[in-house]
Structure 1
Amino acid sequence: MIMDCAVIGGGPAGLNAALVLGRSRRKTVLFDDNKPRNAVTSESHGFITRDGIDPQELKSIAQEELGKYPDVKIEKQHVLAVEKKEGLFEVRAADGKVFLAKKLILATGFKEVLPDLERVGEFYGKSLFSCPFCDGWEMRDRPLAVISENENALHLVKVASNWTDDLIFCTNGKASLSADEKNMLENNGIQVYAEKIARLVGNLGVLEKIEFESGAAIRREGGFITPEWVQASDISAALGCKRNALGGIETDGMKRTNVEGVFACGDILMAGASQLIMAAADGSMAAIGVNAALIEEKFKI
């Protein structure tokens, strides 16, 4: 059977794309290998009616809802490769099955590479986070730190200050600030620590203090860091999809890539803030784009 669309990625973007396609009576196969970027997260926030939900519970509810639509099939497995042959996409799954689809939606997301700090993985997702809008409320009014080495560090510090008046900025000896920028932060009560961090200290994922190479230490209860984002899958590259300045997939307003028939949505775009509600909205738009393309092909003169 030739499917109308294959959706690769079972996060909010892929799930919402499959939902809109199912409701549009499009024969759809959704691939989900259940290796989400937010596996360390126990609560997801900022999604109306689902604020604070466990990401796996959200996925379970979504998959149950998709079960109402007979044209949507869920394959809980990894996609090894995708090739475009004679106008169709040949999707090869890990179990050896091959699926043919007229259109393709990529919603494979990205992976996070954490900073090279001792024990950082123990605290990430529990008391250290990447998105203040996602987790700032839970960390409000505590002594927090922003630990960042990249070019967006200053912006993150400014944003994080919205949730606490007790904030420090640790550059880990790498991020550079001008004298004016440093003064600006300190004038707003934000101390800058330029020394390299020796280790993070705490128990059961709860940060207690940051120790520096000089032996100095400062007590903190959590904060925010900036992981590096990299594509979780090389399928888009293999198909020839163009990348944007951030390394994400370049699309137009309908989520179409430069490759005919290929759409992309969610975190894979690396277009800025990464939140469930934004990814889900992206998935909806990609599905609308697919539906529009199929309709135009049907009524082509």
Structure 2
Amino acid sequence: MKNKNFEVIIIGGSYSGLSAAMSLGRSLRQVLIIDSGLPCNRQTPHSHNFITQDGESPAIISEKAKLQVDFYKTVRFFNGLAIEAVKTQNGFEIKTESGELFTSKKLLFATGVKDVLPEINGLVECWGISVLHCPYCHGYEVKTEKTGIIANGEMAFEYAKLISNWTKDLRLLTNGKSTLTSEQTKVLERHQIEIIEDEIESLEHENGNIKQVIFKKQSKITLKAIYFRSPFEQHCSLPEVLGCTLTEQGLIKVDIMQKTSIPGVFASGDCVIQARSVAMAVSSGSFAGASINKELIEESFA
């Protein structure tokens, strides 16, 4: 790539990064998208609750987006991993794993988060296929089916109430001794939500489609789907290296203009949003692109 200097570098080329790039490309900005090609939903067969794209595969949505963004000739793509980010006098310098150096006035992190999954055999293979994180994204497809929730304590209680909207054939797998209060237990039992305290040994599945949950006490239950809210960590450490503040939940803290605590650095998508979905990522990316363009305009008139 001959050009090494850009007005904006976007690290992360999934839905949010591509949406920001479209806003910036339509604003005639010189943009570089650096992406390593490992989106968090790469195993998920279908995406839902995104108008005009409901039921489409995540990969196809992404490919359509790339083709549309590529129409704007001021936007360039670089397939690689950003490993260093340095604040300079005029902006930022980004180094990739292959040794390429790029500079920009503004920087957008659309790097997403990484799910930290428990060591349950079969769970990784089922993640995003039959082990689900969001009923708004996937609940309709398994409505009324025999369903489990892996959770405990306050989160389990609230999650069980939520998922009961989609199915009444529901049981709570606390994966060990329940930490629900006696009152919470009574409420769930009153709504016929079974509570199973056995530790989980493995998930028996076929190509990621769950068949049975095997417990350490050798008992089994047959399920069609499981919900699990995975803890997460930032997929990219560069925002923290630059000094960006994180929230208590571990998300990059941004203001209403998608600005981080570091001047010139913006963030959008799953790395800043508690409610993770394609639609939310696209929305925040589009707004971040417009916000960056506005800041560049204001600086040119200063």
TM-score normalized with structure 1 length: 0.95
Task: Give 1:290's aligned residue.
Answer: 292
Task: Give 1:226's aligned residue.
Answer: 229
Partner of residue 283 from structure 2, selected from 269, 281, 284: 281
Q: What is the distance in 2 between the residues matched to 1:185 and 1:151?
A: 12
Check if 1:263 corresponds to 2:279: no
Task: Give 1:172's aligned residue.
Answer: 175
Between the two proteins, what is the percent identity of the paired residues? Answer: 33
Query: SS at the partner of 2:244?
Result: coil
Query: SS at the partner of 2:55?
Result: coil
User: 1:161 deviation in Å?
Assistant: 1.1
Check if 1:80 corresponds to 2:90: no
Query: SS at the partner of 2:227?
Result: strand
User: 1:204 deviation in Å?
Assistant: 2.6
Q: Is the contact between residue 200 and residue 214 of structure 2 (CA under 8 Å) also seen in structure 1?
A: yes
Task: Give 1:91's aligned residue.
Answer: 94
User: 1:151 deviation in Å?
Assistant: 5.0
Deviation larger for 144-153 or 32-41: 144-153
Question: Per-residue CA shift, 1:62-102, capped at 9, x if unaligned?
Answer: 11111211110111111121101113110112232211100
RMSD: 1.4
Task: Give 1:123's aligned residue.
Answer: 126
Q: Is the contact between residue 21 and residue 28 of structure 1 (CA under 8 Å) also seen in structure 2?
A: yes
In structure 2, list runs of 5 or more residues that go unmatched.
none
| Residues matched between the structures, number | 299
Task: Give 1:10's aligned residue.
Answer: 13
Partner of residue 31 from structure 1, selected from 31, 34, 43: 34
Deviation larger for 134-143 or 196-205: 196-205
Q: 1:68 to 1:240 in 2, by over 3 A?
A: same
Query: SS at the partner of 1:152?
Result: helix
Task: Give 2:163's aligned residue.
Answer: 160
Q: 1:114 to 1:143 in 2, by over 3 A?
A: same
Task: Give 1:252's aligned residue.
Answer: 255
Question: Per-residue CA shift, 1:155-213, capped at 9, x if unaligned?
Answer: 22111111111000001015510010011111112111122122222333222222322
TM-score normalized with structure 2 length: 0.95
Q: Is the contact between residue 33 and residue 75 of structure 2 (CA under 8 Å) also seen in structure 1?
A: yes
